[in-house]
């Protein structure tokens, strides 16, 4: 079995030349640049991604070459040198140190080609990984779509004053339809809203850039006094959290226009309804919705969505 050794300062003599590394590195680098440029619209993001990409690529190549250097060097002198110590082995010419030995010698092509394949696979894998990460990051930053135009309304707040959706223009808000005597989902959902409120207060945007509008569709039981008592359980900041009521028929119809199912159960004197938090932007567009009774709902993400939408112009 033939052995190879490293001569002088060559990277890895007989395995792969610096010229080959440079050639394949530039070719794959250009390909990676093209892919990244297509995936990323921001020039700054592209530049930063390319810096990271090429840093990892060349670091990986250096490590592979260093390992190969150590492996070949540890094999010791050529066995033929030990058998014929009086016959000196010619050192490679300076040109060979830079360009690498010619790959025409028998037994050298297989390891050389295998190394090239490994390097190419690793480079392609790195480019693919970076491209996937950038694509994921880009998808997260995509603008939230518009579901429909939110219907305007005029309802009564806890002070008996009229409040409309237009009064909150410029603010991102959550709209929630409920009734205070609800035996199951409404109380815990309102508690979830209180946690979202607290996150927005921490960010200093509640009441100024964001708001919450809780609308009762059961005005018969949800009097102003009843809503004051119910809302006080959740420590609301009334500067940004509106508890509203109005005519039963009108509020039920309003809920349906928002896409919320509301049905009165006259037999049991109760209600059946969809339990949703509806996100409306500052221009009065319905952007998305969240399940109010989802135990795994990320309140920080909801708050972040509100802040993000509030910054749109």
Q: At 123, is the pLDDT very low, low, confident or very high (cuts 50, 70, 90)?
A: low
Q: Is the pLDDT at 9 greater than 60, yes or no?
A: no
Q: Is the pLDDT at 141 greater than 90, yes or no?
A: no
Look over the chain and give the mean of its residue pLDDT values, rounded to a whole number.
76
pLDDT at 99: 45
Q: Is the pLDDT at 35 greater than 90, yes or no?
A: no
Q: Is the pLDDT at 263 greater than 70, yes or no?
A: yes
pLDDT digits (tens, 9 = 90+) for 240-252: 999 999 999 999 9
Average pLDDT rounded to a whole number, residues 73-90: 50
Average pLDDT rounded to a whole number, residues 262-279: 92
pLDDT at 140: 47
Q: Is the pLDDT at 79 greater than 50, yes or no?
A: no
Sign of CA dihedral 136, 138, 141, 145: negative
Q: At 295, is the pLDDT very low, low, confident or very high (cuts 50, 70, 90)?
A: confident
pLDDT at 53: 62
Q: Which of 24-33, 65-74, 141-150 has the lowest mean pLDDT?
A: 65-74
Domain boundaries, the chain: 18-140, 148-310
Q: Are 222 and 243 in contact (CB under 8 A)?
A: no
pLDDT at 194: 97
pLDDT digits (tens, 9 = 90+) for 218-234: 999 999 999 999 999 99
- CA atoms of 25 and 193, how far apart (whole Å): 54
Name the superfamily (CATH) of residues 148-310: Glutaredoxin (3.40.30.10)
Q: Is the pLDDT at 300 greater than 90, yes or no?
A: yes
Q: Are 252 and 217 in contact (CB under 8 A)?
A: yes
Query: 100 or 23: which carries more pLDDT confidence?
Result: 23
Give 164's strand partners: 154
pTM: predicted TM-score of the whole model, two decimal places: 0.58
Q: How many residues does the structure list for the chain?
A: 313
Q: Is the pLDDT at 1 greater than 60, yes or no?
A: no
Question: What is the per-residue DSSP string for 168-225?
Answer: GTT-EEEEEEE-TT-SSSHHHHHHHHHHHHHHHHHTT-BTTTEEEEEEES-TTT--HH
- CA atoms of 186 and 177, how far apart (whole Å): 9
Average pLDDT rounded to a whole number, residues 124-147: 62
């Amino acid at each position: 079995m033939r052995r190879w050794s490293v001569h002088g300062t060559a990277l890895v003599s007989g395995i792969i030349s610096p010229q080959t590394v440079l050639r394949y590195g530039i070719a794959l680098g250009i390909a990676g640049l093209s892919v990244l440029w297509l995936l990323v619209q921001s020039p700054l993001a592209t530049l930063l991604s390319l810096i990271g990409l090429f840093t990892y690529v060349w670091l990986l190549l250096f490590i592979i070459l260093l390992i190969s250097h150590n492996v070949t060097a540890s094999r010791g002198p050529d066995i033929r040198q030990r058998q014929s110590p009086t016959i000196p082995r010619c050192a490679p010419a300076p040109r060979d140190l830079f360009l690498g030995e010619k790959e025409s010698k028998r037994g050298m092509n297989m390891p050389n080609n295998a190394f090239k394949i490994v390097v190419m696979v690793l480079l392609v894998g790195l480019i693919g990984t970076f491209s996937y990460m950038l694509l994921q990051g880009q998808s997260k930053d995509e603008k939230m779509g518009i579901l429909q135009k939110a219907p305007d309304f005029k309802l009564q707040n806890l002070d008996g004053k009229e409040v409309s959706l237009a009064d909150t223009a410029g603010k991102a808000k959550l709209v929630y339809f409920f009734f205070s005597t609800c035996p199951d989902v409404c109380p815990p959902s309102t508690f979830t809203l209180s946690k979202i409120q607290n996150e927005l207060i921490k960010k200093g945007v509640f009441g100024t850039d964001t708001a919450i509008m809780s609308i009762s569709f059961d005005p018969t039981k949800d009097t102003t006094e009843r809503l004051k008592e119910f809302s006080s359980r959740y420590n609301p900041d009334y500067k940004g959290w509106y508890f509203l009521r109005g005519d039963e028929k009108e509020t039920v119809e309003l809920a349906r226009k928002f896409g919320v199912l509301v049905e009165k159960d006259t037999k049991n004197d109760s209600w059946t309804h969809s339990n949703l938090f509806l996100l409306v932007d500052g221009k009065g567009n319905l952007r998305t919705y969240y399940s109010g009774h989802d135990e795994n709902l990320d309140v920080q993400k909801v708050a972040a969505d509100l802040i993000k939408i509030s910054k749109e112009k």
